[in-house]
Amino acid sequence: MSFTRQYLSETAAITGQLDADAIERVVSLLRDTRARGGRVFILGVGGSAANASHAVNDFRKIAGIEAYAPTDNVAELTARTNDEGWSTVFESWLKVSRLKSADSVIVFSVGGGDLARQISPNLVEALRYAKSVGAGIAGIVGRDGGFTAQIADACVIIPVVSPDRVTPHTEAFQAVVWHLIVSHPALKAEQTKWESMP
């Protein structure tokens, strides 16, 4: 089998194994966040940060939810990293944003954060802070979900079908899942452009 066919086969397998009930729980959490006038903060690093930026657009424009990604402000992100350290960069950002119990935090991550191995400690610290103020927590993560899966109110874990391609599949399926979420009838507030064309 060619690599391309193998990759596509893995993609199909992941689609078939996604936990639809977990996705519905994320939808419910976000519907409730919007209903109480809360905001959504989407956290991600690397490719997941790029996904967070795109998702912010969709949550705002399609689902009508006030949403932000701290990584969209590169000046503040790098200043905080330089002056305060990488591990607290998201926590500090959420504090200045006055994160409250009406809000929710969504994590996009391949591993979900792991303090013991010092992997994405910034996500772990941000989630601890979110929990301390009573904010909702959701995740779209890979592997075993890490700290995000342990602490989240609703979490979608992208199934591992190939240990050699955990990162590309997880980051690709973050996009599949968040596009499903903003298209869900419980959240979709605005028609998308091409679907509105005659």
pTM (whole model) above 0.85: yes
106-126 pLDDT per residue, tens = 999 999 999 888 889 999 999
99 — phi, psi (to 5°)? -55, 135
- Residues 16, 89: Cα–Cα separation, whole Å: 36
135-180 confidence digits (pLDDT tens):
999 999 999 999 999 999 999 999 999 999 999 999 999 999 999 9
Four-way CATH pick for 3-189: 3.20.20.70, 3.30.1160.10, 1.10.287.130, 3.40.50.10490: 3.40.50.10490
Provide the mean pLDDT of the chain: 96
End-to-end CA distance of the chain: 42
Cβ(105)–Cβ(112) below 8 Å: no
**pLDDT (tens digit per residue) in 41-92:** 999 999 999 999 999 999 999 999 999 999 999 999 999 999 999 999 999 9
Of 121, 130, 138, give the one whose Cα is nearest residue 30: 138
